[in-house]
Structure 1
């Protein structure tokens, strides 16, 4: 019996900036089980890129929402627009994939998650770190109990890519991207932390401007306690060359993952692990494309083949923690989540 070829999910890409273009090229290369047919961006300069990628260009998201052939919309837009855009996409009856962070407040995250759930639509999130092979191994080792009870997380995801941005860029607006590198990079680390450790209970943050004039600060560190016990230290700066390190410690073993390059152009990972009564081991993991793999998981959830692995509860817990981190970055005090 011949196999019926699966139809890719037909989608619009809203936001054709740096990250939107990364996603457009990945989807065009294949393997995401999705195809973009429309590109939306208010900047008319994006029209040339849309044409290059074979996308029908529009400056208005409404044109995509009114297209009955579209099944989904992928949002690569500023954080402050997410809640309104998600509501519009859901009202149009389309699945939605949103770049991180989902929102800047817990209330906003709860509203978006509820809208999608109640409408029976898939909500995907741009937390591609979960789809990196060695991070997926950590999640499985924790889930299976191999690591034993989890005690602590140490993580740093930093870069200096924004130092050359025009000051008018939304990524350099303290009200849109608060708390140093938190919304750019740290949000990925807290996503993993709440997945592994559960809901956070409180956090204390130090956020300083040590090496730039970035309004939201350039050097941020957060110490997080979790309701079920355990802690995490998360650092995210905007003024140091790229570094990405994620380490989790349990009673039976620990695993540390270091990225060899930014996920924009992944080059593999170095994994160091130590298990009880065994010597410490170091190995390398070859490159993969976690951004593509996340979009593929979204497409498969739309097709009903598998549940999307980032749950609404995970999304809400992460944004609740983000909201407390932003408060603590301003006060320097211990803030409840």
Structure 2
């Protein structure tokens, strides 16, 4: 396990390198210069990436922010000292100085924007999903491959030090053959009803991150899914949102590993993210992150002084920064990004299979899910 500690130190200093890199066909750039970037979408996640690019990524230089609400675009540009702002993403296409673009816009706009950016020769960092349907996602990937630009899909959990260390321990052989993975992913509170109505369902909106991590941890592709779910937190999620809020999903992988994914829209103790990977030689596991390591000890009990982080952006602050730094490095050094559009379509197919299993009350093979 000592190798895990040595590797974590390198991870923090050099960013995540879990997937072997290979050279593409673009010109190699010196890392002495800065990458000119733009961000499309000034909402919550756009603000996170803009802050990282502006203050935590020395090799990146934000030169434009785009948001369809002019007030948001202007205020974001002023906040981060960005020279240009716009309400039309096509202005990014026209600017020859912009080399890479972060897509943080609404999901329904991703497909159009990726295709246009690829055609214009811009490298692309995209928040999930690539598109609304598998067919659209395949079209997006084809457009990117044809344009020979780099595209990275934002599965930020892979870049969190806990997930990254666990993965390295598995790769080092410390766990042996992976038998079973258990993933717990629970939010502190349900999202607004308007969000639920347009989310595509719990498996598509929430569990899709766990599906990606299941592939990441097992190193294999899923071949069969069985999903169970119910509405236990708020009956309106069922009656108005036509969705569930609590689910257990069983995944069967081609290498023989199993994975259980435990999701709930509400966790009274806060954001609940736990992982256990069990194998032939042992197991690796980690629990929740806390704001501090202070405990209270008295005559009644021994307990933590504070609850876990209550918001995913607090829990994954370092992960968001690591993934952004990694993509900038990949573009500047002409290396392939560690997460791709293919990772996105694999997780999307698993979400579709899970929903199909839930509705049809049966195990669903991934071979049944086609674009």
Q: Same fold (TM over 0.5)?
A: yes
Higher helix share: 2
Give the match for residue 21 of structure 2.
Answer: none
Is 1:37 the counterpart of 2:66? The answer is no
Residues 153, 249 of structure 1: 8 Å contact kept:
yes
Residues 178, 326 of structure 1: 8 Å contact kept:
no
TM-score (norm 1): 0.83
| Higher RCO structure, 1 or 2 (CA under 8 Å, sep 6+) | 2
Higher strand share: 1
Greater radius of gyration (CA):
2
Is 1:46 the counterpart of 2:72? The answer is yes
Identify the range of structure 1 (149-158 vs 32-41) with the bigger mean alpha-carbon deviation: 32-41
Return the offset for 1:220: 2.6
Give the match for residue 95 of structure 2.
Answer: 67
Return the offset for 1:67: 1.2
Give the match for residue 126 of structure 1.
Answer: 154
| Off by >6 Å, runs of 4+ in structure 1 | none
DSSP-derived class of the 1:188 partner = helix
Give the match for residue 225 of structure 2.
Answer: 203
DSSP-derived class of the 1:303 partner = helix
Q: Which deviations, in whole Å up to 9, do the C-alpha atoms of 1:191-240 show, x marking residues without a partner?
A: 12112331111111223222222313322321111122111111232222
Is 1:264 the counterpart of 2:313? The answer is yes
Give the match for residue 157 of structure 1.
Answer: 185
Q: Give 1:102-141 correspondences, 5 Å limit.
A: 102-141=130-169
Give the Cα separation in 1 of the matches to 2:109 and 2:363: 29
Residues 51, 57 of structure 1: 8 Å contact kept:
no
Return the offset for 1:244: 0.6
Decide which of 312, 315, 319 is 2:348's aligned counterpart. Answer: 319
Give the Cα separation in 2 of the matches to 1:299 and 1:74: 11
Q: Give 1:293-304 correspondences, 5 Å limit.
A: 293-304=322-333
Give the Cα separation in 2 of the matches to 1:34 and 1:145: 36
TM-score (norm 2): 0.76
Residues 31, 332 of structure 2: 8 Å contact kept:
no
Q: Which deviations, in whole Å up to 9, do the C-alpha atoms of 1:231-272 show, x marking residues without a partner?
A: 1111232222310112211111111122313441248xxxxx
Residues 150, 336 of structure 2: 8 Å contact kept:
no
Give the match for residue 226 of structure 1.
Answer: 253
Give the match for residue 92 of structure 1.
Answer: 120
DSSP-derived class of the 1:265 partner = helix
Is 1:335 the counterpart of 2:364? The answer is yes
Return the offset for 1:138: 1.7
Is 1:236 the counterpart of 2:263? The answer is yes
Return the offset for 1:5: 6.5
Q: Which deviations, in whole Å up to 9, do the C-alpha atoms of 1:121-158 show, x marking residues without a partner?
A: 11111111111122112222222322111111111222
Give the Cα separation in 2 of the matches to 1:53 and 1:114: 34
Give the Cα separation in 1 of the matches to 2:322 and 2:278: 26
Return the offset for 1:104: 4.4
Number of residue pairs matched? 307
Residues 271, 312 of structure 2: 8 Å contact kept:
no
Q: Which deviations, in whole Å up to 9, do the C-alpha atoms of 1:253-303 show, x marking residues without a partner?
A: 111122313441248xxxxxxxxxxxxxxxxxxxx7111111111111111
DSSP-derived class of the 1:289 partner = helix
Q: Which deviations, in whole Å up to 9, do the C-alpha atoms of 1:76-110 show, x marking residues without a partner?
A: 12323222221111111101111123334433333
Give the Cα separation in 2 of the matches to 1:145 and 1:313: 26
